[in-house]
Amino acid sequence: MSRSRRIWTLTTAFLGSALLAASAHADPMAEAEAIIAAHKTMPAFTAPGEAFDAKACMKDKKMFVIPLTMTNPFNVQVSKAMEEAAAVVGFPFANWDNQLKVDQWIQGMAQATAEGYSLIDLQGGIPPEALLPQIAAARDKGVKVTTTHLYDVTQTKSDSLDASAKTNYSQAGKILAAWAFKRTEGKPNVLIIGSDEIIPTAPFVKSIQDTLKSLCPDCKQKYVNVPVPEWGTKIQSSVQSALVADPGLNFVLPIYDSMSQFVVPALRLTGRMGAVKIASYNGTPFVIDMVRTGEVDMNIGESIGWIGYAAIDVNMRALCGLPPVEVLNSPLYIFDASNAETAGVPATFNDGYGDSHVAGFKTLWGIE
């Protein structure tokens, strides 16, 4: 091939690639609206795996759950939902009470192992690295150890685990970024607040940042890390400082929605309520109430009941030798001013999402 022909070929290829890249983001607003629209539809059940006879499989098995802490309503409600799902199938289920103390987690692991439980689920945030000797001892006794609602879908589970049901924090990040882009008419200036010590925070924040850059390369964004024990003392001051430093800031994204209660006072004190909007993730009832009253613009929720059934499904598959389900079957759903009341007044953990998961899982397990 002649030199001129090669140059022509390379130039054509480059231009073609550039055109494809440009066309992929030719209408970033339409892209953002599509992300939002996909999560404003009432969640519908989709089977996470093949059907199986759950009663037969679990006939001689029992499950032990150690939540991150029973002082957190999220963990409490997930445990209740798991207990309900276990009762539907008909196998013994135990929940370990603790107050976010490692020695209590260790005691729970020891008790479950000694009492011959078939599986231990470290539910809702316990890092396996904190319990490696106890996990090894349990597995040596034939006990399977899993986690639910801990890792993001982009993260690799610890080798110490038999299974892990991951959560799509990355998708929640895309929704938050798209929402800020849409609500600011394509001109977001965003403050993101996270807690680096929480395992899925890094990919969650990265997803927000990457999506914003994709939609709006020149738009401004800033990230602030506030450790969980300091939420009550540092979130408000961090937001106030950010507002003073950048009067053009128009959106705050506290990635875990309980942070929102400390963002609102900062907006009030600086006179920025309404001008600066808040969007977050988790579906905590008091935050959905804040959406209904206009203090928070949007909250991404998950049905806690759905999470509980999905977690039991993942754990039964681990015990029954079935192909693993690596992503927790719990759809993300947007609550804003148009539908916040459907979550209840006051809001609850389960209202507003529908109940297709109940019949869906029962059918999948051969119960109905």
Question: What's the average model confidence in pLDDT over 46-67?
Answer: 97
Give tens-digit pLDDT for 92-147.
Answer: 999 999 998 999 999 999 999 999 999 999 999 999 999 999 999 999 999 999 99
pLDDT tier for residue 20 given thresholds of 50, 70 and 90: very low
Q: Yes or no: say if 280 and 18 are a contact pair by the CB < 8 Å rule.
A: no
Return the pLDDT at 15: 46
Q: What is the mean pLDDT of the chain?
A: 93
**DSSP 8-class letter at 57:** H
**What SS3 state is found at 184?**
coil
| Domains 54-167+304-330+355-364 and 170-301 are alike in CATH topology | yes
Angle made by CA atoms 111, 156, 130, in degrees to the nearest 5 = 35
Give tens-digit pLDDT for 271-285.
Answer: 999 999 999 999 999
Q: Is the pLDDT of residue 17 over 70?
A: no
What is the spatial distance between Cα 58 and Cα 321, in angstroms, rounded to a whole number? 11
Q: Is the pLDDT of residue 10 over 70?
A: no
Return the pLDDT at 22: 45
Alpha carbon distance, N-terminus to C-terminus of the chain: 68
CATH class of 170-301: alpha beta
pLDDT tier for residue 47 given thresholds of 50, 70 and 90: very high
pLDDT tier for residue 72 given thresholds of 50, 70 and 90: confident
Give tens-digit pLDDT for 224-260.
Answer: 999 999 999 999 999 999 999 999 999 999 999 999 9
- Percent with pLDDT over 90 in the chain: 91
Q: Is the pLDDT of residue 3 over 80?
A: no
Q: Is the pLDDT of residue 7 over 50?
A: no
Give the helix, strand, coil percentages of the chain, each rounded to 5. Answer: 50, 15, 35
Q: Is the pLDDT of residue 9 over 80?
A: no
Backbone angles phi, psi at 214, to 5 degrees: -65, -45
Segments making up each domain of the chain, as ranges? 54-167+304-330+355-364, 170-301
Give tens-digit pLDDT for 340-365.
Answer: 999 999 999 999 999 999 999 999 99
Fold of 54-167+304-330+355-364: Rossmann fold (3.40.50)
Return the pLDDT at 26: 82
Return the pLDDT at 19: 42
Per-position DSSP letters for 299-363, written without gaps between them: EEE--HHHHHHHHHHHHHHHHHTPPP--B-----EEE-TTTGGGGTTTT-SSTTS-SHHHHHHHH
Q: Is the pLDDT of residue 5 over 80?
A: no
Contacts of 215 (CB under 8 A, 6+ apart): 25, 28, 31, 32, 177, 178, 181, 186
Return the pLDDT at 25: 54
Give tens-digit pLDDT for 290-328.
Answer: 999 999 999 999 999 999 999 999 999 999 999 999 999
